[in-house]
Structure 1
Amino acid sequence: MNETAALPTAPLRARAEIDLAALRANVRALRAHAPGAALMAVVKSDAYGHGAARCARAAVAAGATWLGTATPEEALVLRAPGAGLPADVRIMCWLWTPGGPWREAIEADLDVSVGAMWALREVTRAARSAGRPARVQLKADTGLGRGGCQPGGDWAELVGEALRAEAEGLIRITGLWSHFACADEPGHPSIAAQLARFWEMTAYAEERGVRPEVRHIANSPATLTVPDSHFDLVRTGIALYGISPSPELGSPADFGLRPVMTLSASLALVKRVPGGHGVSYGHHYVTPGETTLGLVPLGYADGVPRHASSAGPVLVEGKWRTVAGRVAMDQFVVDLGGDEPEPGAQAVLFGPGDRGEPTAEDWAQAAGTIAYEIVTRIGTRVPRVYVNEGEDG
């Protein structure tokens, strides 16, 4: 993880400012959307590029009672004493491969996902070795077609074997869960179909004696727009960081959310060039006339998408500029149209948007991707600078 608690004495080449007050407010807004359910703050992939430990602490302070990660390694870092999280916060991880650190997860009191018989066999062996039961959540594939157990005979076998392991004291079945495929597409027929299948699969397990602490299927878009999916727990990922899961669903402001990350850099160079001057690799941009160019010291090694070449928006001294030509590994150029800001002037790639700057969604549109990818890909060369760490008054 790449966390910078305070500004160093030297000016920063670039920075990703993380507004923890915005994150706490987003947690409260999401809890209001699902008042009858507990909230899991998903902090996988270093909290979508925002910094897992800091964001986890802020989310818990605002009322999240669960944390979610993809890999067990991510979860184990959060359970370590240095993460500064309360011992009673539940942490779940779900992306396992054979031979994973099952025993370490059991000893760290993590909730682990099991969606196949091989995983149940491995976790029960680890529980015998650890001398304590594993906290296991059974995952149902209700239609996404990724992880999880298929309905019918496969689910019946998994539930039956899990109940036998629970009777032996090897596991505790703490949850039943699944994941939507198209909750970010309003009205998609798969949403109702998956919800019905989840009801069927959880009912089957409960009729045979499973008594889960939580049942959950709602991700960020379902939390915001499918109240019937809230069950006992909602898993909020991208919405936690103030980004709408889909522009079709609404803007962040429509849901009472505020983007948490602002990415900016200091101009490294400003120079005047004549018309007809090629810019960056391949000369895909040629100046239409005499102008000024600004050099922004961020590139695809920092997570700026190369697909946004000649398209990505940047705010410089109150004006939107566009990437001129190719995004390179460490830098790109903007055409300043004759303006001459001083070297060191701030170039804002994206932020909340309420000060005139582009947003992560604007960059997603420019790169032909989704805003999730824009924030998650910001690399470790860019320091995270945390603001508003204190509790809200």
Structure 2
Amino acid sequence: MSDKYYRNTVLDVNLKAIEKNYRAVQGINPEKTLIAVVKANAYGLGAKAVSEHLAEAGASFFAVATLDEAIDLRMHGIKQKILVLGTISPEHINKAIQHRIAVTAPNLEWLKEAKSEVNDRHDKAVWIHIKVNTGMNRYGTSDLREIETMINEINSFSRFIYEGIFSHFTSSDEDNDITAAEFNLFKDIVNQVERPEYVHISNSGGALTLKEDFTTAVRSGIALYGYYPSEYTKAETAVKLNPGVRLSTEITAVHHLEPGDSVSYGRKYTAKTKETVATLPIGYADGLLRQHNGYKVKLEGGADCEIVGTICMDALMIKVPEQTNAQEKVIIIDDQENSDQSMESYSNYTGTISYESLCSFGRRIPRRYTGKDIELIYNEVIN
């Protein structure tokens, strides 16, 4: 891990804020296990650093999307329980056994294939969570007989442990009757089969808004990082989340334009009067999309400045006050909820969601972790 970086664009990740969000979600689900979802490299923020911090704060259960992600956490010292929410290839079941990772069984065929692949190299058992399809139609089954047979298959095989049964809400961040219908279907199925230790269906939307005593665990991803799944969720929950991310950079060059001078590829922006533009060392290769043209960043001194001209792979230009100088700091995404540069504002500008914005931050942007006794920096490029 390198603690150096040589381009003044940095993503600040506030680990203390993430910990507060974890405790807040746990606080309204006090009787349930909170499964911290750190898939997609903790939504782009760094799964190792986030998981280490949450483990120190008491988190006992993590979830990822792939077996590779789970093994990576194990190799970096995460000893807590890890569940792979996606479906692994049955031929890789022994890797899950080796690294003590819980896996998802989407159907009976998968279970039988995985069973046939188990060898004697690692004399351990693997935890199985059966996936119930309640409407997502992505993974899982809603066939009651199939689920009953799956449970029997697990219980009759010494190397499998029936640990969980779960599903995933499609619309818990919206104001409709879909969530209730999906939850009722899930309950109906679970009530007719053997009940394992972990019964879970709520994602962040459900964990923040659904009051129920049927499940034994909830999962939370986006809420951990300080962002509500939707405005509806924000209005429906009493939980105050703390934004955990701040994206900033510094001006590297300043140009004074005359009327008729243009900016960037295609000369799509032309100055009508005398103007000043500044160059920022961040572009679409870093996750700041070309569609952000026109979005306003903020000088640390307070001025909002519009992105002008075509956003480049490695840089972009902003229109600034005449007296602006190189090396002035610029805030692209603020960690203040109601800022014009909030994560929601940044995401809404291109018609996307906070999830996608977080996951889009490129590997060239160093992650600088605050909220601990010492400042930690991770620069993947020169790791």
Common topology (TM > 0.5):
yes
Helix, strand or coil at the partner of 1:288: coil
Q: How far apart are 1:97 and its partner, in Å?
A: 4.5
Query: Which residue pairs with 2:94 in the alignment?
Result: 103
Query: Which residue pairs with 1:93 in the alignment?
Result: 84
Within 2, Cα distance between the matches of 1:251 and 1:291?
42
Structure 1 residue ranges (4+ consecutive) displaced by more than 4 angstroms after TM superposition: 251-254, 354-357
Within 2, Cα distance between the matches of 1:175 and 1:355?
39
Query: Which residue pairs with 2:37 in the alignment?
Result: 42
Aligned partner (choices 272, 289, 293) of residue 273 of structure 2? 289
Q: Does 1:146 align with 2:138?
A: yes
Q: Does 1:257 align with 2:241?
A: yes
Report if aligned partners of 1:17, 1:386 keep a CA contact under 8 Å in 2. yes
Query: Which residue pairs with 2:10 in the alignment?
Result: 15
Query: Which residue pairs with 2:370 in the alignment?
Result: 387
Query: Which residue pairs with 1:133 in the alignment?
Result: 125
CA pair 146-354 structure 1, distance change in 2 beyond 3 A: closer
Within 1, Cα distance between the matches of 2:214 and 2:206?
8
User: Which letter maps to 1:169?
Assistant: S
Aligned partner (choices 241, 261, 265) of residue 225 of structure 2? 241
Within 2, Cα distance between the matches of 1:29 and 1:162?
34
Sequence identity percentage:
27
Query: Which residue pairs with 2:348 in the alignment?
Result: 365
Helix, strand or coil at the partner of 2:62: strand
Aligned partner (choices 328, 342, 354) of residue 345 of structure 1? 328
Report if aligned partners of 2:200, 2:215 keep a CA contact under 8 Å in 1. yes
Q: Does 1:74 align with 2:57?
A: no
Report if aligned partners of 2:67, 2:88 keep a CA contact under 8 Å in 1. no
Q: How far apart are 1:205 and its partner, in Å?
A: 1.9
User: Which letter maps to 2:210?
Assistant: V
Query: Which residue pairs with 1:198 in the alignment?
Result: 186
Q: How far apart are 1:254 and its partner, in Å?
A: 6.1
Aligned partner (choices 176, 179, 200) of residue 165 of structure 2? 176
Within 1, Cα distance between the matches of 2:40 and 2:151?
29
Report if aligned partners of 2:66, 2:88 keep a CA contact under 8 Å in 1. no
User: Which letter maps to 2:77?
Assistant: G
Report if aligned partners of 2:9, 2:247 keep a CA contact under 8 Å in 1. yes
User: Which letter maps to 1:358?
Assistant: Q
Report if aligned partners of 1:262, 1:352 keep a CA contact under 8 Å in 2. yes
Within 2, Cα distance between the matches of 1:122 and 1:249?
40
Helix, strand or coil at the partner of 1:67: strand
User: Which letter maps to 1:363?
Assistant: Y
Bigger drift between 380-389 and 338-347 goes to 338-347
CA pair 331-349 structure 1, distance change in 2 beyond 3 A: same
User: Which letter maps to 1:72?
Assistant: L
Q: Deviations over 1:158-195 (max 9, x none)?
A: 43133233223131110000000001112x22101100
Q: How far apart are 1:45 and its partner, in Å?
A: 0.6
Q: How far apart are 1:376 and its partner, in Å?
A: 1.1
Q: How far apart are 1:98 and its partner, in Å?
A: 3.2
Query: Which residue pairs with 1:231 in the alignment?
Result: 215
Bigger drift between 288-297 and 91-100 goes to 91-100
State TM-score, norm by structure 2.
0.91
Helix, strand or coil at the partner of 1:36: coil
Q: How far apart are 1:359 and its partner, in Å?
A: 1.2
State TM-score, norm by structure 1.
0.89
CA pair 221-100 structure 1, distance change in 2 beyond 3 A: farther
Report if aligned partners of 2:66, 2:86 keep a CA contact under 8 Å in 1. yes
Q: How far apart are 1:121 and its partner, in Å?
A: 2.0
Report if aligned partners of 2:208, 2:239 keep a CA contact under 8 Å in 1. yes
Q: How far apart are 1:11 and its partner, in Å?
A: 5.3
Helix, strand or coil at the partner of 1:119: helix
Within 1, Cα distance between the matches of 2:236 and 2:16?
15
Within 2, Cα distance between the matches of 1:266 and 1:324?
17
Count of residue pairs brought into register by the alignment: 372
Query: Which residue pairs with 2:149 in the alignment?
Result: 160
Segments of 5+ residues of structure 1 without an aligned counterpart are none
Q: Deviations over 1:33-72 (max 9, x none)?
A: 2112111111001100110011011222233221010001
Segments of 5+ residues of structure 2 without an aligned counterpart are 375-383
Helix, strand or coil at the partner of 2:212: helix
Q: Deviations over 1:124-172 (max 9, x none)?
A: 12434444322100000011111111x23xx422431332332231311
Report if aligned partners of 2:209, 2:237 keep a CA contact under 8 Å in 1. no
Helix, strand or coil at the partner of 1:304: coil
Report if aligned partners of 1:102, 1:126 keep a CA contact under 8 Å in 2. yes
User: Which letter maps to 1:386?
Assistant: Y
